[in-house]
Structure 1
């Protein structure tokens, strides 16, 4: 949840000053959202900030035009961008890609970006550049706080610390950066801690929404001539945290990140960038510690792991505005999980056992101009591979799952394929007016869960629709044809950026009925699924789909320090092989904020308007949702340069509402009925203070 949308005014027209100062290169269609400022500025031109009070870093992004939050738990939210979410969005932390540890994506990428540590978020709303890797939709790179090089030869301290309290869940958060830096060396330590109780809503409390998370890490950079060597290590320990839309809750995530790199100019028109990274995730979840315990026979716990090794290298020939870039990258993933009954040692089974995927890719990008028209053309080719071992199981596993495991052992469990991505961006700088056109062909390879889930379970990569799924070893690569058209207009006292877009997606991976006779339990898969309470399991399959819509950001200075800012989004998504809608699509929505901003303080009143959603997926048994209107009020005071206090109230009138993208409650004995869509948070006051020097 956030309390300001003023970021659009500057973020839509240029990179943030912090970003530009570091010399990094971004795509011309990238939005940069930064943390709140800490110094007095000209209020008429200052708008490069966002404040988010919830622990989920995905909410920091969700208020941007075209974006939405898929709420799967306090720490498990996923980013939806123009109708796509999950692995279809290219998500990175500090430029690092990695596989999530949970089979239901309880740890999506933004799980590893606590709000206390976010420095900025770089958002490619439409398509991600080919240099960032394959991906069907937009891209997000979240940059955590880090030491910056100083201006002198001696080491000087850098401090950026924040602390926050929020009433709706009695949560506390604290963290930040402590560093030493000179003009050639930077050394930094980051850390954060967050904890919260169950979230309140007008009808009571939402069970199993408490959370605990701690992050700590070190990083360093050394300038050698025109380049920089960098090294970072980060550890995240997520404790017991609830996930009411899922069958289990988080017991822990223990995750290690390591990355090393070099970036520098080898010559006047030759730049080299090289990085290598590792991510290791260890995860446990169960269905009895944070929710009422089931019977002994139904007690379940799951241990999972995911290891990712990656590297990339690129050479840029030319300047930042006129160049050819060639590069290559690879990614190796090792993933698996075991499901067991901790009260019955003989019952254990590996639904995903020693599964591996690999990808090797290369690309070329050409940035050029023809008169007033600027262009960026990109092409990449990737070779993918995937495999998995035969599944192990214990003597206490019933005959049905054993027979499925033995049948899967006889299947062809090795796959390889090639994908081709291409993109063309055109824009023209015509003073206050900049028209934009994007054409692209983008791809996504099936996930290990989608391909190799032979056991009927609710593992679905975070769909949280209550259905049981199985995979398909014959899945094809998704392929999308994309067109976007829009413009930026920046006047002296107003701005706007409308975009319309269309995507045709061939071989879109979607759950479909397992066979042609759904509801008739006549196959081994349906028999096992029926034993778990779902006689109509779904099977991941290639279908066809299309997504289209529009979004806009706008704002204007009304009079003096009074200004108006807003965003609005609309997306429509449907299957084209049958008459059905795609699952979990954000309804039409808008936000409008009126702000009075002085050089050292500001107050803002915001309205959030969400339409009802009746275009739902019949295949996924999706329920429609009603519309709602919320009001927020917030303000800040820069007490002195480097110290800022934020205060506010979210959901000012304590409205009871249900977000369409929230999951369905799976927990008994709470104030939310079993199977009902989870309500949004009630009235919440917050206070945050930040100190930086």
Structure 2
């Protein structure tokens, strides 16, 4: 290992800090496992320190760099607006992500429009990660964890009357990046109304050796409208967001983003029956229109190879819960319904006869109910819950103009259309956590769970071997499997929270055994193998059920070095293996250590906050031989940020933030970065997409 986390841990903890945000941990209830939050609350409902998911400090367009500060989290990135959350070795659809209470159904089968791409900063926006065992109340199919990104309506109703708002303007270089973000909120005794907008644009980025990072450009515009009204014990709020992504690159995938027109809505109602008793219900949905192609933003060998994929997704959902006191804790009962439908058609603009009906009316319906009991005593706190979920899937017929000229494709079409494509999955989740208060300074945490995940529509219904992997982006073609079973993960999580004076240390150990893990294995379908060999020169993988084990640890350390200097360190290590063969799981993040030293002082009576960061990643040599995954070297980065408050009063605030990312212009490539598939660029096809070199971010923010 070129960089050892153990060797650098002490030095990094004493000399470095993270540039983007501070995070604090709190107990969502006295019994739920620690929840890590990035965000800025609008009031002091919870007495914790928070930083905003904010446009003032982000380097990544989708704010993934701010989320990567959380223990166990890394970002698997296929493009500048295509980041996938990886938590403890699992990523993609296994990690549940909701935005303002909406479970978004993406249109792109390769997760170009990933949940993170739908984030638009607004007042009170927080990102909440359930660390360790996820309670069943957090959502359905949370096998790989749960991240909630939202501005809580209860906090908005608690604001004082009047108009508040903020504007932000940022410049990022190199790449001529600029972004603008603003919001305004008007509050009365019983109601509020708010609006927010965002614009982001950037040209190609550069690596540490001045290599142009291929297809790292992006352009996005978005707006959000929200209102709320309360009368007596009743609260009502509604949200609508429109986010338009224009031409943006995805160098790790076979196509780039032409456009994504994404809209979502949510209507919420809450009845406060008593101080600790309430009923809440949300109705939500989204509609995504998505075009991608392989010719407008990259070179192709010939016009006959040009492909455009037009995809769409429509979803609606309803969730409801009732919470009441029970003995020394509370009882929560809930229900969830969700319907999603996907379509995808591939064409060639140079050949009007060419078409592939990739997915036709692929439907996925989810119905779920749960019960959860929280117990709080002086000696311990516990959460026990169970959830039953039923997922029903179906899809329309496949088709292509190539049926008449290619017998292998005709075989695939006929076999798929003749098959029974309708299937139901019944799944039982169970989660239990206990926090034993051993002393005033020591808590012992133990959690166990069984969580399930049904296959995605592309894992079942990809009838033609294509590079559709849900964002895994290993370069292989994949074909679906109508016989897939659901995944079942059994997990144990143990750790402690130890407090000494101003310091807190929170280590966790975890072990997860996943039965019927869905991954790719060499295809035995002769027709699919013939088609893939003809198109790509390689035989495809088929989604299959195997078994897998993921184990590891993460730890946070935080405290005060002095009255004005604080430190926070986050370390993560994980190891994933398939059980059916001796092979590693693909694209697992290596061990990682991020430490933050923050200094609060004053310059000419103006408050100044300085942060210095050390980000250390180990080499990753435990790679998938089956998927031709290459090892990566470790690296170390240093970042620095300064924030000065020029004006600060009860009604307004003016701040200037300056960030230098990768201060020493280090050349590196994260293991979770994708493999370049864009020809005729500074980065060879098949090489890992490099990380950005030294970058500057200057931001001016005004709050009123």
Secondary structure at the aligned position of 2:248 is classed as coil
Deviation string for 1:175-214 (max 9, x for gaps)? 1311211121000111101001011112321121100111
CA contact (8 A) 2:163 2:187 kept: yes
**Which of 472, 481, 502 does residue 472 from structure 1 map onto?**
481
Give the C-alpha shift of residue 349 in structure 1.
0.9
**1:566 equivalent in structure 2:** 569
**1:404 equivalent in structure 2:** 412
CA contact (8 A) 2:32 2:433 kept: no
> 2:591 aligned with 1:580, yes or no?
no
**1:675 equivalent in structure 2:** 686
**1:490 equivalent in structure 2:** 499
Deviation string for 1:251-297 (max 9, x for gaps)? 01111111101112124553101111110111000011111244111
Mapped partners of 2:118, 2:579: distance in 1: 36
Q: How does 1:110-125 map to 2 (within 5 A)?
A: 110-114=116-120, 119-125=125-131
CA contact (8 A) 1:112 1:236 kept: yes
**1:420 equivalent in structure 2:** 428
| CA spacing shift, 1:614–1:409, aligned 2, 3 Å | same
**1:665 equivalent in structure 2:** 676
Give the C-alpha shift of residue 435 in structure 1.
1.9
Give the C-alpha shift of residue 118 in structure 1.
7.6
| CA spacing shift, 1:554–1:475, aligned 2, 3 Å | same
Give the C-alpha shift of residue 439 in structure 1.
0.7
**1:70 equivalent in structure 2:** 76
| CA spacing shift, 1:411–1:256, aligned 2, 3 Å | same
CA contact (8 A) 1:478 1:506 kept: yes
Mapped partners of 1:260, 1:269: distance in 2: 23
**1:126 equivalent in structure 2:** 132
Deviation string for 1:493-520 (max 9, x for gaps)? 22211111010000000101112xxxxx
Q: How does 1:97-176 map to 2 (within 5 A)?
A: 97-114=103-120, 119-131=125-137, 132-143=139-150, 148-149=156-157, 156-176=162-182
| CA spacing shift, 1:58–1:233, aligned 2, 3 Å | same
Mapped partners of 1:142, 1:534: distance in 2: 42
| CA spacing shift, 1:490–1:176, aligned 2, 3 Å | farther
Mapped partners of 1:138, 1:507: distance in 2: 18
**Which of 641, 650, 666 does residue 655 from structure 1 map onto?**
666
**2:91 equivalent in structure 1:** 85
CA contact (8 A) 2:80 2:218 kept: yes
Deviation string for 1:24-72 (max 9, x for gaps)? 9994422111159999xx9xx9564674332122222112111101011
**2:336 equivalent in structure 1:** 329
Mapped partners of 1:4, 1:227: distance in 2: 42
| Unmatched segments (≥5 aa) in structure 1 | 16-23, 516-521
Deviation string for 1:457-483 (max 9, x for gaps)? 001100111010001000001000010
**2:10 equivalent in structure 1:** none
Mapped partners of 1:270, 1:68: distance in 2: 37
Give the C-alpha shift of residue 491 in structure 1.
3.1
**Which of 368, 371, 374 does residue 361 from structure 1 map onto?**
368
Give the C-alpha shift of residue 150 in structure 1.
6.0
Secondary structure at the aligned position of 1:467 is classed as coil
Give the C-alpha shift of residue 692 in structure 1.
1.9
Mapped partners of 2:265, 2:565: distance in 1: 46
Deviation string for 1:124-152 (max 9, x for gaps)? 13233212222212110111598923666
TM-score (norm 2): 0.91
Q: How does 1:375-414 map to 2 (within 5 A)?
A: 375-394=382-401, 398-399=405-406, 400-414=408-422
Mapped partners of 1:475, 1:135: distance in 2: 19
Q: Out of 189-198 and 168-177, give the one that drifted further.
A: 168-177
CA contact (8 A) 1:116 1:162 kept: no
| CA spacing shift, 1:46–1:109, aligned 2, 3 Å | closer
Does 1 or 2 have the higher relative contact order (CA < 8 Å, sep 6+)? 2
**2:237 equivalent in structure 1:** 230
Q: How does 1:291-306 map to 2 (within 5 A)?
A: 291-306=298-313
**2:552 equivalent in structure 1:** 549
| CA spacing shift, 1:248–1:219, aligned 2, 3 Å | same
**Which of 329, 348, 361 does residue 355 from structure 2 map onto?**
348
Mapped partners of 2:159, 2:337: distance in 1: 36
> 2:55 aligned with 1:52, yes or no?
no
**2:541 equivalent in structure 1:** 538
Mapped partners of 1:90, 1:118: distance in 2: 21
Q: How does 1:610-629 map to 2 (within 5 A)?
A: 610-629=617-636
Mapped partners of 2:123, 2:33: distance in 1: 26
**Which of 18, 22, 39 does residue 7 from structure 1 map onto?**
22
| CA spacing shift, 1:500–1:666, aligned 2, 3 Å | same
**Which of 436, 452, 456 does residue 465 from structure 2 map onto?**
456
Deviation string for 1:555-576 (max 9, x for gaps)? 2322342333211110000011
**2:442 equivalent in structure 1:** 433
**Which of 255, 261, 270 does residue 254 from structure 1 map onto?**
261
| CA spacing shift, 1:178–1:684, aligned 2, 3 Å | same
Mapped partners of 2:41, 2:663: distance in 1: 22
**Which of 612, 615, 634 does residue 641 from structure 2 map onto?**
634
| CA spacing shift, 1:246–1:450, aligned 2, 3 Å | same
Mapped partners of 1:462, 1:47: distance in 2: 31
Mapped partners of 2:348, 2:309: distance in 1: 9
Give the C-alpha shift of residue 664 in structure 1.
0.7
Deviation string for 1:68-106 (max 9, x for gaps)? 010110000101000011010011001111211101000
CA contact (8 A) 1:117 1:175 kept: no
> 2:437 aligned with 1:442, yes or no?
no
| Unmatched segments (≥5 aa) in structure 2 | 1-16
Secondary structure at the aligned position of 2:107 is classed as coil
CA contact (8 A) 1:5 1:566 kept: no
TM-score (norm 1): 0.92
**CA RMSD of superposed structures (Å):** 2.4
Give the C-alpha shift of residue 670 in structure 1.
1.1
CA contact (8 A) 2:52 2:124 kept: no
Secondary structure at the aligned position of 1:259 is classed as strand
Secondary structure at the aligned position of 2:536 is classed as coil
CA contact (8 A) 2:36 2:70 kept: no
CA contact (8 A) 1:127 1:137 kept: no
| CA spacing shift, 1:602–1:14, aligned 2, 3 Å | farther
Q: How many residues align?
A: 670
CA contact (8 A) 1:348 1:396 kept: no
**Which of 493, 518, 522 does residue 509 from structure 1 map onto?**
518
Mapped partners of 2:415, 2:527: distance in 1: 10
CA contact (8 A) 1:123 1:140 kept: yes
> 2:282 aligned with 1:275, yes or no?
yes
CA contact (8 A) 2:133 2:448 kept: no
Secondary structure at the aligned position of 2:401 is classed as coil
Mapped partners of 1:53, 1:320: distance in 2: 48
**Which of 210, 216, 219 does residue 212 from structure 1 map onto?**
219
**Which of 523, 528, 543 does residue 525 from structure 1 map onto?**
528
**2:35 equivalent in structure 1:** 30
Deviation string for 1:283-324 (max 9, x for gaps)? 000011111244111000000011111001111121797111
CA contact (8 A) 1:118 1:142 kept: no
**1:518 equivalent in structure 2:** none
